[in-house]
């Protein structure tokens, strides 16, 4: 299914239905129940984390430029402090590994779907002097909840990755999270949400790798934490991650972010003891979608590297590095 979606995105195919027509009535009823529970609170406006991180390393080397694109997850909706957002955590972690400052620019928009990536990429590339060295994209959840055709979703994402790669930036994509982990969602919607999310994540992986990017499957990465401690892992709206949830996701993305820049101590050599392999890209995408935290990157076409990089805890962001709010 992921291969069919990606092929439809590449060759202009139409929508490929992910749910049978017989299930529509049940799904719509479950959606209404879920809407009464999800979003019971109001998530705060994402704090701006734009600015320079690793300021103590200034003068050792020119700063790396990190761009963040995507939806509310990339923006950090659900937390109140800039240092708790994924952008700040990744910038701080990247600065520590690279031993040089990192300038963060976040253009993600809460509520965005993949069709907003064209605008976001244009915003990032508007100043050729500030072209990012590496970009992280987190997108897909709103495409599922707003029923955007999967082929369109992947087409928009692939086009964004292509533009960024053409501009010289490395690209890491955190694929569609598993919406079946949202606590108030009941069966059978939970099962359907998980199935659709994973299919989109796998198709996203195929599209991104074909454009020279890397992916990290977020999937049900937070599932065990959500199940064990949902009040800490979810924000007040019962939908967006809390500070602990964002830290867990950032820990999964950071190794791939650093590897894309040649900074991670682990090379792209495979470790058979951790079930790493070279697989056809569609098979690698499917396996990654079912195993959260898995990295997929391109090898010689049509093959891809499937890796499980060791994670390191991200150091807390010093208060002094928290940037002033960006102008609106």
Average of per-residue pLDDT values in the chain: 80
Active-site position among 114, 240, 242, 297? 240
**Nearest by Cα to 294 from 280, 320, 267, 274:** 274
Active-site position among 50, 71, 72, 217? 72
Mean pLDDT to the nearest integer, 148-176: 95
Least confident of 22-36, 157-171, 223-237: 22-36
- Measured in degrees and rounded to the nearest 5, phi and psi for residue 215 equal -125, 155
- Give 151 or 38, the one with higher predicted confidence: 151
Write the CA distances from 90 to 103, 121, 206, 264, 328, integer angstroms. 11, 19, 24, 14, 23
- Residue 159, number of CB atoms within 10 A of its CB: 17
Count helices and strands (H / E) in the chain. 12, 9
pLDDT at 92: 95
Structure confidence at residue 90 as a pLDDT band (50, 70, 90): very high
pLDDT at 183: 57
- Give 129 or 115, the one with higher predicted confidence: 115
273 catalytic? Reply is no
Mean pLDDT to the nearest integer, 128-134: 92
pLDDT at 145: 78
Q: How many CA atoms lie within 13 A of 90 on its CB side?
A: 35
Alpha helices in 262-303 (DSSP H): 281-289
Active-site position among 37, 115, 237, 308? 237
pLDDT at 315: 64
Structure confidence at residue 86 as a pLDDT band (50, 70, 90): very high
Mean pLDDT to the nearest integer, 151-169: 96
240 catalytic? Reply is yes
pLDDT greater than 70 at residue 151: yes
pLDDT greater than 80 at residue 27: no
Least confident of 56-70, 173-187, 259-273: 173-187
**Nearest by Cα to 107 from 156, 68, 143, 147:** 68
d(Cα 207, Cα 6) in Å, to the nearest integer? Answer: 6
Mean pLDDT to the nearest integer, 304-313: 81
Q: Which two tokens stand for residue 33?
A: 């129940």
pLDDT at 136: 98
Contacts by 269-278, CB closer than 8 A, 24 or more apart: 270/305, 270/307, 271/307, 271/308, 274/308, 275/306, 275/308, 276/305, 276/306, 276/307, 276/308, 277/306, 278/303, 278/304, 278/305, 278/306
- Diameter of the chain by CA atoms? 63
**Nearest by Cα to 290 from 184, 183, 180:** 180
72 catalytic? Reply is yes
Mean pLDDT to the nearest integer, 216-233: 61
pLDDT at 318: 66
Looking at mean pLDDT, say which of 153-157, 176-180, 222-226, 274-278 comes out highest.
153-157
pLDDT at 158: 97
pLDDT greater than 70 at residue 229: no
Structure confidence at residue 50 as a pLDDT band (50, 70, 90): very high
Strand (E) positions, the chain? 51-53, 64-70, 102-106, 134-138, 170-174, 214-216, 277-280, 295-298, 303-307
pLDDT at 275: 76
């Amino acid at each position: 299914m992921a291969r069919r979606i990606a092929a439809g995105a590449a060759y202009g195919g139409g929508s490929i239905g992910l749910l049978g027509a017989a299930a529509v009535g049940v799904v719509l009823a479950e959606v209404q129940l879920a809407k009464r529970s999800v979003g019971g609170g109001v998530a705060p406006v994402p704090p701006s984390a734009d600015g320079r991180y690793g300021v103590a390393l200034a003068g050792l080397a020119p700063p790396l430029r990190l761009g963040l694109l995507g939806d509310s997850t990339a923006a950090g909706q659900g937390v109140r402090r800039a240092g708790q957002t994924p952008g700040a955590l990744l910038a701080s972690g990247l600065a520590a590994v690279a031993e040089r400052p990192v300038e963060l620019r976040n253009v993600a928009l809460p509520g965005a779907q993949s069709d907003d990536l064209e605008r976001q990429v244009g915003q990032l590339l508007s100043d050729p002097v500030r072209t990012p060295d590496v970009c992280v994209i987190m997108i897909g959840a709103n495409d599922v909840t707003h029923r955007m055709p999967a082929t369109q979703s992947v087409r928009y994402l692939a086009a964004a990755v292509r533009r960024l790669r053409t501009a010289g930036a490395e690209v890491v994509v955190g694929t569609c999270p598993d919406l079946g982990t949202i606590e108030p969602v009941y069966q059978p919607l939970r099962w359907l949400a998980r199935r659709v999310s994973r299919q989109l994540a796998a198709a996203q992986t195929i599209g991104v790798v074909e454009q020279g990017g890397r992916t990290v499957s977020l999937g049900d990465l937070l599932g065990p934490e959500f199940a064990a401690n949902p009040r800490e892992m979810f924000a007040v709206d019962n939908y967006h991650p809390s500070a602990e949830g964002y830290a867990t996701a950032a820990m999964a993305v950071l190794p791939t972010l650093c590897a894309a820049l040649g900074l991670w101590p682990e090379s792209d050599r495979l470790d058979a003891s951790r079930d790493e392999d070279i697989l056809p890209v569609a098979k690698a995408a499917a396996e990654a979608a079912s195993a959260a935290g898995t990295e997929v990157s391109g090898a010689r076409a049509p093959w891809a590297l499937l890796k499980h990089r060791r994670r390191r805890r991200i150091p807390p962001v010093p208060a002094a590095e928290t940037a002033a709010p960006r102008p609106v």
